Every structure is written in C-alpha cells, then in structure tokens.
Structure 1
Amino acid sequence: MSEDNLTAVLYKAQDLRLEQRPIPTPGHGEVLLRVGSVGLCGSDVSYWWRGRTARHVVKTPLVLGHEFSGTVVQCGPGVHTLKPGDRVAIEPGVPCRVCEHCKKGRYNVCRDVKFCATPPVDGSLTRYYVHPADFCFKLDEGVSDEEGALVEPLAVAVYSCQRAEVGVGRPVLVLGAGPIGLVSLLTARAMGASPICITDINEERLKFARQLGAEHALNVSGMSDKEAARRISQLLPRPPSSVIECSGADSSYRIGILAGAKGGVMVTVGRGNPDVTLPVTLLTAKEMEVRGIFRYANCYPAALAMITSGTVDLRALVTHRFRLDQVDQAFHTARDGTAIKVMVRVDRGGAGHGPTE
C-alpha cells in the first residue's frame, strides 16, 4: 500500500488545498478503499464556491465528493462479504440502522444519517477512504470505475421514478436537463415510459437530451408558466401522469402542476427557493400529489443492475475528466456550465485532463 494519501481539502469558499493525510484504518464492519473515480455533484460545487449548500455550512476543513467508486485494500474485523481487490460502488449515506425510519426501510430520512461530504463528514476526494462494508456494492468486471461512481446519481433517478410511479406507456415530464434530469430521462425510458418531454432553458443541454432519446425537448426560456404548460400539452398525447422536477426553479414547480395529469404525481428532486408559491387550488382540483425526494433508499442494487445489464448507459454523461492534482480546475469546469458531468480520477493510475475526446 502506498503511503501517498493526497487529499483535496476545502477550508472555506474557494479555498481548496491539496495535502497529505494519514491513511485511515478500517474498524469493525468497515473496509479501507483505494478511491478510483469521483463525480462532482452540484452540492460539491456549491460548497466549493459558496461555502455552503442549503442549511449545511463549511465551518471546519472538509473533504468533498460523494459520487465515487473504489477498490477494497483492507477489511476490518467482521467483514465477510468483501475481500481485498473487490471493486465497489459506494452508497455514501450511512444511517443509524436502528431508528423507526431505518427499520421501515426509509433510512434516507434517518435523523442520524452520516453522508459523505456533508459537514462535518469528510468525502472521497482522497486516495484512501474508510466506509462500512454493507454500504459498498460489488462491481462486475465489465463496469468501469466511472460507471461505479455514477451509480449514486442513478440511484437518485431510480428513486425519483419509483416515487413518481413511472410505468410502461405512461407519459413523463422531466423539468430540468441537468445531470439528474438527464439520468431521470434515461431511467424513465428504461422503465418503459413513453413519450418523455424534458424542459430547460439551455439549448445545448436540450440537444444532449434529444441524443439520449427524449421524444420532446422544450426550451422554456422567456415563456410564461401557462405558455410552457400549453406547449407541453401540444407535444404530449395526453397530460403526463408522472412529473419529475429536477431544476429547483420556482417556475418549474408551477409548470409541473399546470401541465400534470389529474390524479398524477409530481416529485420534487431539485432544491430551490424554500418559499416557492404554488397554484394550490389547481393542485387540489386535479387531485395531484406532490412528493418529496430526499436522496434514495434501497436503490443501489436496481441502479447497479441497470448499468451492468446495459439497460441504462451513462458513459456519455461524462464530458470532462481530471486527475486529483487538477481538482481546482475540475471545480471551475463543473461550475462554468460547459460540462454535463465532471469526473475526477483519484487513483494515480488514471488519466485526466480536460474534456473527453
């Protein structure tokens, strides 16, 4: 094992430093991982740029990164499901396992969950990382480290589609063509939804969505909420029974309710204005349900199966790659809007540098 544990540490907004840290030792039920690839999430970028995400504030040095894969290099006592050399995708949220929510299977809303890269819990932009073995999922030989890192955002999409009751032949509206919106598009397609309409104000992202198989991609820039809903109704054969809001924009929530079917479901994946105003009278008259989405629960096996089987192919989403020693450049690229998904190769054997060819 190399003694090199280069780590990217955020001290405050826009103050990201590379430094060596001690290699941790796995405790009971834990494994020591050599981190492979780490995808940069919007929350990582917000911490880096603003020093906070929603109510979470960086008050002490923090290691970012929660979308990642790795290779087991050492097993702690009591680990029998993994061995050194196993490549794994890591579910980054570890709950208490004993509270009422955990025992009901909704461990994502456990009040004591420890989530990677959420203050004060360190994340994975480090060569070596310790994690509970029961939140590590083996990768098949044909699944790359990058695909392993993408299991995390895919799990968000799987959970969102489940909560939105996406089904075969049901029209779906996805609001927002960022990484989660695009992964939700792919997941809804894999679940048999048809047709799918996706909206955004960025034409390049909508073009990308069309390449991924969206039947309709609507640029709502400059439109009123009612005009956007009217255009959606013209594109789809009937109102969408499943609406997946991924942008966090006030207008998107309202468009979803205006365009959604009677008795339909809208799930709120995006996080925006906490005091958004909604057309509640219309929501009531339609008997639509609005369901919150907080990460995911019990979705990693399904997400991993989708990747392993080829049902969902996420490789095209990785538009830029960097090495760990280029991490500051990676964050700038993730923020400037030119990338879909930025991937940081932490394992020293990996390459990086700029956009994919």
Structure 2
Amino acid sequence: MISCETIPSTMPAVVLESPRNLAYREIPVWPIESYGDPDMVMIKVEACGICGSDLRYYAGENPWAQHTLGKHVDNPPNIVLGHEFAGTVVAVVDERNSHLLGKRVAPVCSKTCGECSECRQGREQLCANTIHLGHGQGWGTQLFYPGAYACYAPAWAQNCYELPDNVPSEEAAMMDILAVCVHVAHRGDIQPGRPVLVIGAGPAGNGIAQAAKNMGACPVVAIDVSPTAIEIASKQGIDYAINTAGLDAESIKRNLAGIVQEGFGSVFDSVGTQESLDIGLSVLGKAGTLVNMAVHDADMRFNFMRIGSERKITTSCNFAVGDYPIALSWLKNGRFQVSDWLTKIALEDVPRVFKELESAKLNRKAFKLVIVF
C-alpha cells in the first residue's frame, strides 16, 4: 500500500450492529490490501450524506436488494452505513493509481462485476454481483462491512471523480443521490416542453425536479406536505411547489388538473403509497410514464384501464455509468443546487439523530443531513 500520510490502525465509526442499534465506536481501519482488488484506494472522508435508504437499513429493510434483485435479503450485523461521500485519497494499493494521492474526489459507491448478462448488455445498475459500500452487498463475510460513516472509507480508483475547487466536499457528497436523480429522470422519458409532476419533494424529488428542468420539461410541479421541502423547491425555481398538507387526494387531483389540463408527460413518485400511485395515475397524460422510486414489499391496486393510451408504470434502480458525469457537470456548473439542502452534524451525533428521525422529533425541519469531519 502506498500512502501520502500516516494512517492509524483504528478509527471512529458508526456501526449498525443490528436493526435499530447504531453504535459510535472505534473499529479497525479498512484493510484495503486484503480485499483482493488492486484498484482499491483509501479515502479520508470529509463529508457523508445521510440517505433515506440508510434509515431503511436501520429499520431492518434492504432497499438495494428490493430495487435491484426484487426481493428481501437479510442484512448482516456490523454494517458501517454511508454511501454518499467525498474526501481525499490518502492511500492506494497499486502504484498505477498513485496520481490520485492527495486528490479530492467523489467516489461511486459500488463496483459491478462486468461479466454477468446485465453488465454485458449495458444494464450495470442491475448487476446482482455488485459490491456496494454502506451495506453488506458483495463483501462476503466481514468483521465490519465498509461504509463512510467513518473517518476513512475504501473506494475504487476507476470510480473516483476528481472534484473542482468550486464544489465543496459537503455538496460533492450529494453526488450519489444526484446521479440517481439523473437516472430516474431518464427512466421517466422526459420530453422538452411537456409537464412533469414530482410527488414528494424531499432530496430525491427535489433533485429529480431540477433534472427535469435541466432536460427542458415545462412546467415542473412538485408536491409535498413539508413546508421545508416546499420552501426549498420554490427557492430553486421549481415552477409550482405546492404544499398539500391537509388536502385529501381528490383536492390534490383537482389542483393538479387546474395546472395541467391534458395530463403530465412524466410523473415521479418518491412516496410509494397506494394514495400517491392513485394521484399519479389520475393525472398521467397519454403516452406518459409514471416512475415509482420507492419500491416496497406491498400489494398495489389500480384499474388496468388507467394505463390505457400507452401510459406506463416503471421503476428506477441505482444509476447507470453515464449518469454520474452528467450529475457532476450539472453540480459544477450550478445546474444542480444543493447548498440549501444541507444541515451539518458530527459523526458522534448520528445514533441520536437516527432515533430522533424515526420518532419524527426533527419534524422534517432538516431537509438533508450531512456528516462533516
């Protein structure tokens, strides 16, 4: 291993020891040489986002498996959560990657096998053999499963994107969710000049709304029950940001129909309930696409006539190889705006914050939490 600074043998980390049991503790630094991949590098983490999927892992779900494999897979104990991160490369396994030492990067949090039928046919985001940071997928049996709720995190050199000076690390840590938003937007078949609806204007919904505007959709409408989410969407120039708190489904449908009479060309549902599906289908235009981004193990009911006139329902999974550089370009050029999203917290506060998030004590005032080191 080649390093540009002294790396300690242990580090502070937040470990998901079992469902709803997060511990701030000292663990061994990742043994990147023992993982058997010469492309491995070590990142000194500067910022790590708390993703909505992290809360699902905390609760005992496995959202990666649900979206990618279409089934539940039990999580192993001792996962270090965290896959949205940025930092500085401080060690490499192979000398060929020594040019990255000292460079500030945003790493892609996963590596696909490149050999399965999904990978060979250009659908790497569906690779069942993915190795993924922030949960147990692909690592075999480990004492601790790598993630970025820690002072150091492993990554792959081929998947590290160097950061420009105008992108702070806490904003660069949003790259994973922004790449997901680019992919979701493509899955929704957005057409320039055609209206888009985003149901749920949290970070994912907000990012999709921004991506839709970047792709020429007009108007872009976002709905949510959170005043914070609506305020941020309005600040960022989303055409209609509507607070639906206290409104029943029929009132929401009437409001949306008053804005777009012929229906939306694309509807993105980040809520994933029976009610949100019903609202989305009710206002989906002819040949429109509804993308469900919150796949749960639950039965959903709808009348098949509602997808007549070439309407379709689909899902979105992870992001494709080409989505990441698009997202980074938009972030660098100010076409993705995330600074208003962020509330900074310390690593040692994470176990307490998760308990508060689950019990809703924060009341959604924190739009997007980012751990800073």
The normalised TM-score by structure 1 is: 0.89
Q: Is the 8 A contact 1:28 1:78 kept in 2?
A: no
TM alignment of 1:222-301, pairs within 5 A? 223-236=247-260, 238-272=262-296, 274-283=298-307, 285-298=308-321, 299-301=323-325
Q: What do the CA deviations read for 1:196-230 (whole angstroms, capped 9, x no partner)?
A: 11112233322332222222223444545444223
Q: Is the 8 A contact 2:232 2:341 kept in 1?
A: no
Q: What do the CA deviations read for 1:67-108 (whole angstroms, capped 9, x no partner)?
A: 111211112226448420111112112111111211222111
Q: In terms of mean alpha carbon deviation, does 176-185 or 115-124 score higher?
A: 115-124
Measured at CA, do residues 81 and 312 of structure 1 come closer, stay the same or move farther in structure 2, by a change above 3 Å?
farther
Q: Is the 8 A contact 1:37 1:344 kept in 2?
A: yes
Q: What do the CA deviations read for 1:253-302 (whole angstroms, capped 9, x no partner)?
A: 1211110110111111123453111232211x231121210111121110
One-letter amino acid of the counterpart of residue 311, structure 2: M
One-letter amino acid of the counterpart of residue 62, structure 1: I
| In the alignment, structure 1 residue 159 sits paired with structure 2 residue 166 | no
Partner of 2:142: none
Q: Is the 8 A contact 1:247 1:271 kept in 2?
A: no
One-letter amino acid of the counterpart of residue 33, structure 1: I
Partner of 2:18: 12
The Cα of 1:39 is off from its aligned counterpart by 0.3
The Cα of 1:28 is off from its aligned counterpart by 0.5
Which of 204, 207, 214 is the aligned partner of 1:183? 207
The Cα of 1:58 is off from its aligned counterpart by 3.5
Which of 98, 102, 124 is the aligned partner of 2:119? 102
Which of 311, 314, 320 is the aligned partner of 2:335? 311
Measured at CA, do residues 301 and 262 of structure 1 come closer, stay the same or move farther in structure 2, by a change above 3 Å?
same
The Cα of 1:333 is off from its aligned counterpart by 5.1
Distance 1:219 1:313 in 2: 21
Partner of 1:340: 367
Secondary structure of residue in 2 paired with 1:241: strand
| In the alignment, structure 1 residue 75 sits paired with structure 2 residue 92 | yes
Root-mean-square deviation (CA, aligned residues, Å) is: 2.0
| In the alignment, structure 1 residue 149 sits paired with structure 2 residue 176 | no
| In the alignment, structure 1 residue 52 sits paired with structure 2 residue 52 | no
Measured at CA, do residues 273 and 228 of structure 1 come closer, stay the same or move farther in structure 2, by a change above 3 Å?
farther
Q: Is the 8 A contact 1:243 1:266 kept in 2?
A: yes
The Cα of 1:150 is off from its aligned counterpart by 0.3
Measured at CA, do residues 141 and 197 of structure 1 come closer, stay the same or move farther in structure 2, by a change above 3 Å?
same
Q: Is the 8 A contact 1:40 1:334 kept in 2?
A: no
The Cα of 1:153 is off from its aligned counterpart by 0.7
One-letter amino acid of the counterpart of residue 11, structure 2: N
Distance 1:52 1:261 in 2: 34
Stretches of structure 1 that go unaligned for 5 or more consecutive residues are 348-357
Secondary structure of residue in 1 paired with 2:43: strand
